[in-house]
Structures are given as structure tokens and as C-alpha cells.
Amino acid sequence: MSYVEKIKTKLEEGTKISDIFDYVPENFNLDNYKNITIPNIKEKANSLPLKCFEEISNPNQQYQNSTTKIDISGLIQFQSYSSISDANLTVDFSTPLTRLQVPTTWATWSSPPVTESSTPPVLFTGTGVSSLTLTLSKPCCTFGFELDPNFNNITITSVVNFYSGQELVGTIQKTVTGRPNTAFFAAKTCCTSPFDRVEISIDEPLGGFAIAQVRYNTDCSSECDCCCTEAVDVNFESYEESKNVPVEITDLKCEGRLLIVDVTVTACENRRVAVGVLICDEEEEDVLRFKVCEACMPESTTPGVPCVDHTFRFCFGFETDLCDPLALKLKTFAEYAYFNFECDC
């Protein structure tokens, strides 16, 4: 079976393009790939990609810098609210929540680094409440908050489920004892399964619970910046289909030419795309470098216009004498990686 035929077979099976082109033989011809027709691939690419859900362990500075907090400090104390919002997002509550303040009207709250602050304004469910649903007005690829059960000296288990439509993307469960017993819940996902609903439950309804520091990020785009290269040995045993190889780049001492390729793609908002760059010699006989990136298109900022532009960056190093000329030819390709819906782009 030829290499192109193997590519076609893998695509028909639903394999992602970035998984197929990790290695390209010297005789690979991109033009042959462009002529491949893949029947029924739309029906085979609707499943959620693996490893979309990633728990965020603590509200560190990186998390805070990458998210927006909905400020509730201006809400009136002891008044109930069915939602909170800012200019970009509204979070609706299945049960109205009462605005309180630590430490005057809510006794205690855990301190950093477990939380952002030990004295935040909070939203209380009221007693006798063991569950709460947060409905997001826009899909979010990062969402988080802090939760404090209204109990002393007992063990409480809290479970938070993150949903994308009817699909459960991931679950975080934490158990705390005593006070303060605040727990931090946050996660991020990929653009094919953004969060639009979060369900909270605790295993003891008597006292209820409070939440604070609601943060989000609706920008699901990601940038491909691959300006570092490292060589490692990889050996596959017989019948071994996959291997996970960790690589650490700690000491950059190489000198040579750096080729930076910025590929700007116009495509549908919130769609995952695969973009590839091949660097060939001047006669196009040999493929010298090849890289593929799979990432998400950002959300459109123009109402009614689903098409957006996004730039993917690829970097290639060539260890050559700077006094010598270097002639190269560059080829690129881009395609949708998932086919969940139609778009007029």
C-alpha cells in the first residue's frame, strides 16, 4: 500500500490530520494528497476529541491573567440575584443567590494560594440547598469559581460537572472538612466542546453553600508557536501503535538561520482547523522540514459574519553558514479538522 493510500485509509477511519503527518518520507508529494477524495468523512468525525477537559489546580496568576472575573462587589448585601454579568457574559442561577461578605456576614474563607482572597464578596444559596446550575450565555473554554459549604467540623464532598450542550465534558470532585473549607473548581476545554452549563452538588443539603470569584474565558483560539526543536530517540516495539514521548528544551545554543512562517487562515468561527507547512529545496525534490498544527478559530466579533481570520506561526531552523545563500520553496495547506456543522465560508 502506498503512503498516500495509507493516508486515505487513516482519514476514512477518522484519524486527525495532525496525527497522520507526524512523519513525512522524502518521496512524499503534497500534490498527491490534495487529490484524495474521502467519502463519508463528515459522519465519522463527530465524536469529541480526546483530552479536551483539563482541571486547573489553583487560582494562580496565570489563571487569573487568562480569565475575566465577574465583579460582584457592587451588588447590594442581603439582596438575592438570579444572575450575575459583565459586558461579555451572563451567568444565570437555577436558585437565586444572596450577596454576603467575608468576614462580616459570611464567617470564613480559605486563604491564597487555595483561593484568590480570604475576604471576598460571596453568593449564598440559602439553607436546605444541595445543588445549583450555572447557565452561561456564551460558550466558554475556561470557567471557574470558589465554593465554601456552610458547615462546621463535618466532611463535605462537592461535585462539579461541566457540560457542552448535553455532553458531559468533565467532572471535578473535592472533599473538605472543617472551616475554612473553601474549594477551588476550574477547568478548560477545547473549542469543539466549550462549556455552556455547570452543575454543582454537595452531599449535605442542610446548610447550603456559597460561591465566589466566578471567572471565565470565551476565547477558544490557540496559537501555534513552535520555534524550538529537540531530537530524541523513539523506538516502537512490534505491534505498538502509539507512544507518549516527553521532551524538555532547557538550553538553547544553536546558531543558524530562522525561518518564521505566518499562515493566515480565513475560516468559520470556533471551528478546529489543521494547518501544515512544508519546506522544500529549490527544485522541490526533497522535503526538508514539515510541521502541522491543529488549533481553533476565534469567535467572530461581527454579528452575522461567521468568517474570521487567524494567524498560525511556524518556525524552522536551518544550521547553515550565514555567508552561504539558501534557496527554499514553501508549501502550505489548511483544512477543517472536524465537520460538526456547515458554514458559508
The DSSP string of 111-165 is: PTTTSS-SS-EEEE--TT--EEEEEEEEEESEEEEEEEES-SSSEEEEEEEEEET
- If residue 55 lies in a helix (H) or strand (E), which one and from where to where? strand 54-55
pLDDT at 199 over 60: yes
pLDDT of 345 reads 60
Cβ-contact 109, 182 below 8 angstroms? yes
Highest mean pLDDT among 10-19, 100-109, 223-232: 100-109
Burial 32-49 (b: 16+ CB within 10 A, else e): ebeeeeeeeeeeebeebb
Average pLDDT over residues 164-179: 92
**Nearest-5° angle of CA 207, CA 176, CA 180?**
70
208: region left, alpha or beta (phi > 0 left; psi from -120 to 50 alpha):
left
pLDDT at 116 over 90: yes
Cβ-contact 197, 133 below 8 angstroms? yes
Return d(Cα 24, Cα 30) in angstroms, integer: 10
Return d(Cα 237, Cα 192) in angstroms, integer: 33
Residue 209 class from Cβ within 10 Å (0-12 exposed, 13-18 middle, 19+ buried)?
Answer: buried
pLDDT of 27 reads 47
The rounded radius of gyration (Å) of the Cα atoms in the chain is 25
Q: 146 vs 14, which has greater pLDDT?
A: 146
pLDDT of 21 reads 46
pLDDT of 319 reads 75
Return d(Cα 125, Cα 178) in angstroms, integer: 19
Cβ-contact 184, 105 below 8 angstroms? no
Residue 160 class from Cβ within 10 Å (0-12 exposed, 13-18 middle, 19+ buried)?
Answer: buried
All domains of the chain, ordered by start, with CATH? 54-217 (2.60.120.340), 221-237+246-336 (2.60.40)
Q: What is the mean pLDDT of the chain?
A: 81
The residue among 223, 220, 230 whose CA lies nearest residue 169 is 220
Average pLDDT over residues 307-322: 84
Categorize the per-residue pLDDT at 64 as very low, low, confident or very high, splitting at 50, 70 and 90: very high
Cβ-contact 132, 92 below 8 angstroms? no
pLDDT at 316 over 50: yes
pLDDT at 251 over 70: no
